[in-house]
Amino acid sequence: MASPNLAKEQWANKYWNEVDGFRNISCATCPKLDKKQQLCRIPFGTPLRKCVVAGIEAHLHNAKGKSVLELGFGRFSLAKNLVKRSGGIWTGIEPRQSMDKKPKIGRGGYGHAENIPFSDETFDMVFGIQTLEHWGQKCSGAARAPSEYEDCLNEILRVLKPGGTIYLDAPIHLHGNEMFIMGDIERIKNHFADDLWCNLVVERWRYDYQPLERYAPYEKLFDEWKEEITSYSVEEVEMAKQNPIWLLTISAEKRTP
């Protein structure tokens, strides 16, 4: 179980480099790298999952006094536990829950980003771990019909208090909506309108993976890619297959009128 105090200490210093308008967290300089062994200190999961854990620790270790909503909480409880242990009130919604399980403040239940069952300006923070890429996913592997990203983000804005924040992460070159498969970061960023959001920060985890192993797209993914991708050329898709999988994180603040 993650320790808020340990995470605060580990991520207290600057852990990124600014590259082309992004925060770039390379494996070589990540606090989780065991430089002597040349291994990631996170002992479980795929290379991508290790970055997910690191990102959660870096961004969610201090929720003291905050009411926090998790979108798509599933069975992965690290973020929930970190929020609660650091003094926050965790609430969750999940589209795979039974529809008659109603969420309440401090408890999880049915819901999805397109229709959040809470009143305006309820939460200080909204976050989603490996859920953003699925909102607009249209292939048969999706849990429900695709949503419009503007609708989901408008719902998040509605339930956020003025000055409230978001934290979202998503894999690049893995699965989900085509813009995540293709790594179309400008298209993704364009959904976060300047008149609605401020202090937008985009991070690239494992974009520079050395000295660790390359984590590449694999054959099993490509049937889903064929079904999902409709806006990019065959040549662009083939180029995407050659790129490593990495983790995108987005944080931003609700702009106060």
The tokens of 15 are what? 């852990």
Cα three-residue angle 35-41-42, rounded to 5 degrees: 155
Distance of CA 144 to the CA centre of its chain: 19
* Helical axes 47-60 vs 78-85, angle rounded to 10°: 20
Distance CA 77, CA 129 (A): 10
Identify the band that residue 143 occupies on the pLDDT scale cut at 50, 70 and 90. Answer: low
Average pLDDT taken over every residue of the chain:
95
pLDDT tens sequence across 231-245: 999 999 999 999 999
| Location of structure tokens 């995108």 | 248
Please tell me whether the overall predicted TM-score, pTM, comes out greater than 0.85 for this model.
yes
How far apart CA 139 and CA 228 sit, in angstroms, is 5
**47-105 residue pLDDT tens:** 999 999 999 999 999 999 999 999 999 888 999 999 999 999 999 999 999 999 999 99
Residue (of 32, 129, 46) closest to 81 by Cα position? 129
Q: Is 185 helix (H, G, I), strand (E, B) or coil?
A: helix
Region 136-142: mean pLDDT is: 76
Q: State how many domains the chain has.
A: 1
Sign of CA dihedral 119, 122, 125, 127: negative
Which CATH number characterizes residue 51's domain?
3.40.50.150
Distance, CA of 140 to CA of 227 (rounded, Å): 8
Residue 221's nearest CA partner among 143, 147, 141 is 141
**Across the chain, where does the E strand assignment appear?**
17-19, 22-25, 33-34, 39-40, 67-71, 89-94, 108-110, 123-129, 160-172, 197-205, 246-254
The string of pLDDT tens digits covering residues 204-216 is 999 999 999 999 9
159 and 120 in contact (C-beta within 8 Å)?
Answer: yes
User: What are the backbone dihedrals phi and psi of residue 121, each rounded to the nearest 5 degrees, phi first?
Assistant: 55, 50
Q: Give the residue from 178, 94, 88 showing the smallest Cα distance to 131.
A: 94
pLDDT at residue 140 tops 70? no
Which residue is listed with tokens 């105090």? 5
Cis ω for the linkage preceding 117 (within 30 of 0): no
Identify the domain containing residue 27 by its residue range.
4-254
